[in-house]
């Protein structure tokens, strides 16, 4: 890419310097060696050349030729001069500042390296061209990648992003991941961090470097972060453009985390309390804060927040339910029920508010309150309206997860009856992303599950056949048919044909999805196509791993779905099943535990974990019995 070169003329006077700037377009490109530097090991571009500071000083020299030579030398040094240039862009010498900013903008930063994980490379496509908000969103996605996959990329953002705020938020994203999986405490990861940071003297880089250097000594680490918090609070109050309330808040949260690890709960609570002073009372901020407090079981602080911001709480059903949950956990059942009743009556007629509240309660395992909210929306009517259908889809899945399959089927029956009575409702369902046939098949599957539990197997098969006619690619329904067909060879063969056809359909969806991703003209479309591609791969993996087929293909598809959508509980649930199908029970249990951590109140995920644990235990006992009965077996420890 060709960029403009800035040249300046300067006239000196005894009393000072008067500058005026004339932009002259020139052919200067940094796409060669500079752009390649991030593809080299960090140590090859991390060392700061000793005379960088002299060249930067010469950017403000009296002589034009000296200024031009300095700019050319700094251009040649590329990323090696980044840190000093970043500091110089705030120089009191206006010409040094402007030339430094120009050089920084001219650097061709290739944010992704060839050895980065695929998901990281996809996230970082076009990173430098994104807005501040978009880059901030990417921080969270990189941090959500498991096993420390995104840490090296986050370190590059710490060092090279031109926003001081994003540089600091990248450190906090790394620390959040450290809480999740201790990746940053791994010595090898610590080395990677130090290499990626190089000699950067940015405040955020210094935070992270000191963290790695003291990570084996919690007391020393606490002292480091206490000083960081003090310094950042001063920055926040004295130069607010270099900090933000969310940065200070998250630093305080990290300090509280360290105190908790040291067993100083009272001190941690005092630090957490300080974060309340940083709240501005917006609904989104209050929700995020309350969620964080609930995760830490700081129930009394939830009540403090609710008391301090009573108006926003009284206007939001979701916030009121969070307060009710805090009251319930403190044993104040009557008060919690009163608060939940207030939430149910809040924003009467606002269908969307109550659907969101119901789903949020469902995710928290507060199923009684969630059911009341869903039923409230259904009573609002009319049947077959958009909010009615959305509530029925979500409510029926919750009931199925609770193994109340007859209630789930009857909830969808009303939607099917509405579609039968009015073709426009079927069109509405399509616009909402649900094919009418898939709704019918789901209803049939729920009816079938209820009949199976009541051992009415002939009626179950009839219902399942009806569902397969409506949607022959419904994976759960085909799995149920496969398990129900074992005593009937003819029906079993028919079911296997349906499964093979569905698998081929998913393969075609995958091929089409891959083509769409490759042809996507922007990041938004690529994200949509990747999401659909992940869904197709997950469906194939789930169907095959629960029935029959190429288990290796299923495993690959499942792993790829998680690369495209990391930390998705349903996809981890599928991956666990793939390992289980291959007889790799220990891996199945490990992955399923991750899924449970993400969705601890999902009955399906927890039941599958118990199955995997039981099978793994039985397999070990069988192996022990075999070894005990065979004197030729090694009696040492087994791996």
Confidence band of 190 (pLDDT split at 50, 70, 90): confident
- State yes or no: pLDDT of 19 exceeds 50: no
Residue with tokens 């903008």: 105
Q: Could you state, in order of their start, the residue ranges of all structural domains in the chain? A: 6-106, 117-212, 580-634
343 vs 321: CA distance, rounded Å: 6
Give pLDDT, residue 601. 95
**Residue 563 pLDDT exceeds 70:** yes
Q: Per residue in 395-425, pLDDT tens?
A: 999 999 999 999 999 999 999 999 999 999 9
Residue 348, token pair as written in the block: 């009467």
pLDDT band of 66, cuts 50, 70, 90: confident
pLDDT over 60 at 181, yes or no = no
Q: What value does the mean pLDDT take over residues 605-623?
A: 93
Percent of the chain topping pLDDT 70: 85
Closest CA to 378 of 358, 406, 402: 358
- With a CB cutoff of 8 Å and minimum separation 6, the contacts of 474 are 438, 441, 442, 445, 467, 468
User: CA torsion, points 318, 320, 326, 328, in degrees to nearest 10?
Assistant: -110
* pLDDT tens per residue across span 340-359: 999 998 888 789 999 999 99
Mean pLDDT, rounded, of the chain:
84
> For residue 26, is pLDDT > 60?
no
Mean pLDDT of 497-515: 97
Identify the pLDDT of residue 29. Answer: 30
pLDDT(100) > 80: no
Query: Residue 551: is its pLDDT beyond 80?
Result: yes
pLDDT score for 78 = 63
pLDDT (0 to 100) of residue 529: 93
Residue 107 region by backbone torsions, left for phi larger than 0, else alpha for psi between -120 and 50, else beta: beta
Residue 43: per-residue pLDDT: 40
Residue 369 has pLDDT above 90, yes or no: yes
The answer to whether residue 36 scores a pLDDT higher than 60 is no
d(CA 574, CA 554): 9
Q: Nearest to residue 224, comparing CAs of 258, 176, 268, 188?
A: 258
Kindly tell me if the per-residue pLDDT of 81 is higher than 90: no
Q: Which two tokens stand for residue 20?
A: 């005026």
The whole-number pLDDT of residue 179 equals 60
Tens of pLDDT, residues 209-257: 999 999 889 999 999 999 999 999 999 999 988 899 999 999 999 999 8
How much is the pLDDT for 61?
77
pLDDT of residue 539: 97
Least confident of 112-116, 244-248, 543-547, 622-626: 622-626
pLDDT at 148: 81
């Amino acid at each position: 890419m060709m960029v403009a070169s800035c040249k300046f003329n300067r006239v000196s006077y005894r009393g000072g310097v008067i500058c005026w700037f004339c932009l002259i377009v020139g052919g200067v490109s940094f796409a060669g060696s500079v752009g390649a530097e991030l593809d080299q090991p960090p140590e090859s571009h991390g060392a700061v050349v000793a005379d960088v500071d002299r060249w930067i000083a010469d950017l403000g020299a009296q002589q034009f030729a000296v200024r031009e030579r300095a700019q050319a030398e700094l251009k040649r040094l590329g990323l090696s001069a980044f840190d000093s240039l970043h500091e110089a862009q705030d120089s009191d010498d206006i010409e040094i500042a402007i030339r430094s900013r120009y050089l920084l903008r001219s650097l061709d930063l290739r944010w992704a390296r060839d050895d980065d994980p695929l998901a990281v490379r996809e996230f970082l496509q076009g990173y430098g061209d994104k807005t501040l908000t978009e880059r901030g969103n990417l921080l969270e996605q990189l941090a959500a990648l498991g096993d420390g996959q995104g840490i090296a990329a986050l370190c590059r953002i710490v060092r090279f992003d031109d926003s001081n705020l994003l540089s600091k938020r990248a450190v906090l994203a790394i620390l959040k991941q450290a809480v999740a999986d201790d990746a940053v405490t791994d010595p090898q990861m610590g080395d990677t961090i130090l290499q990626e940071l190089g000699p950067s003297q940015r405040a955020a880089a210094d935070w992270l470097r000191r963290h790695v250097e003291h990570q084996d000594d919690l007391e020393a680490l606490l002292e480091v972060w206490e000083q960081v918090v003090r310094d950042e609070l001063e920055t926040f109050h004295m130069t607010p453009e270099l900090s933000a309330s969310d940065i200070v808040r998250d630093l305080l949260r990290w300090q509280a985390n360290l105190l908790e690890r040291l067993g100083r709960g009272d001190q941690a609570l005092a630090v957490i309390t300080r974060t309340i002073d940083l709240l501005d009372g917006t609904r989104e901020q209050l929700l995020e804060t309350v969620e964080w407090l609930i995760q830490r079981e700081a129930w009394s602080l939830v009540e403090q927040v609710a008391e301090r911001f009573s108006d926003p709480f009284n206007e939001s059903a979701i916030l009121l339910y969070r307060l009710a949950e805090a009251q319930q956990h403190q044993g104040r059942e009557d008060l919690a029920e009163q608060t939940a009743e207030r939430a149910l009556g809040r924003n009467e007629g606002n269908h969307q508010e109550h659907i969101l509240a119901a789903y949020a309660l469902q995710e928290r395992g507060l199923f009684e309150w969630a059911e009341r909210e869903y039923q409230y929306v259904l009573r609002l009517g009319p049947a077959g309206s958009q909010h009615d259908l959305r509530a029925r889809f979500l409510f029926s899945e919750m009931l199925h997860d609770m193994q109340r399959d007859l209630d789930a089927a009857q909830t969808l029956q009303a939607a099917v009856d509405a579609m039968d009575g009015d073709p426009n409702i079927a069109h509405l369902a399509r616009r909402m992303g649900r094919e009418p046939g898939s709704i019918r098949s789901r209803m049939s599957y729920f009816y079938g599950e209820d009949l199976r539990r009541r051992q009415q197997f002939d009626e179950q098969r009839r219902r399942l056949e009806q569902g397969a006619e409506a949607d022959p690619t419904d994976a759960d329904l085909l799995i149920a048919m496969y398990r129900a067909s074992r005593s009937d060879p003819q029906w079993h063969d028919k079911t296997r044909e349906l499964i093979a056809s569905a698998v081929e359909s998913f393969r075609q969806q995958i091929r089409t999805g891959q083509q769409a991703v490759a042809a996507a003209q922007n990041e938004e479309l690529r994200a949509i196509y990747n999401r659909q591609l992940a869904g197709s791969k997950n469906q194939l993996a789930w169907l095959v791993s629960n029935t029959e087929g190429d288990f290796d293909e299923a495993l690959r598809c499942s792993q790829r779905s998680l690369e495209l959508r990391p930390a998705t509980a349903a996809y981890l649930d599928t991956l666990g099943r793939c390992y289980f199908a291959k007889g790799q029970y220990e891996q199945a249990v490990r992955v399923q535990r991750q899924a449970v951590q993400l969705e601890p109140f999902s009955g399906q995920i927890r039941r599958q974990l118990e199955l995997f644990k039981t099978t793994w235990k039985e397999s070990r006992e069988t192996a022990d019995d075999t070894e005990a009965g065979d004197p030729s077996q090694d009696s040492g420890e087994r791996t």
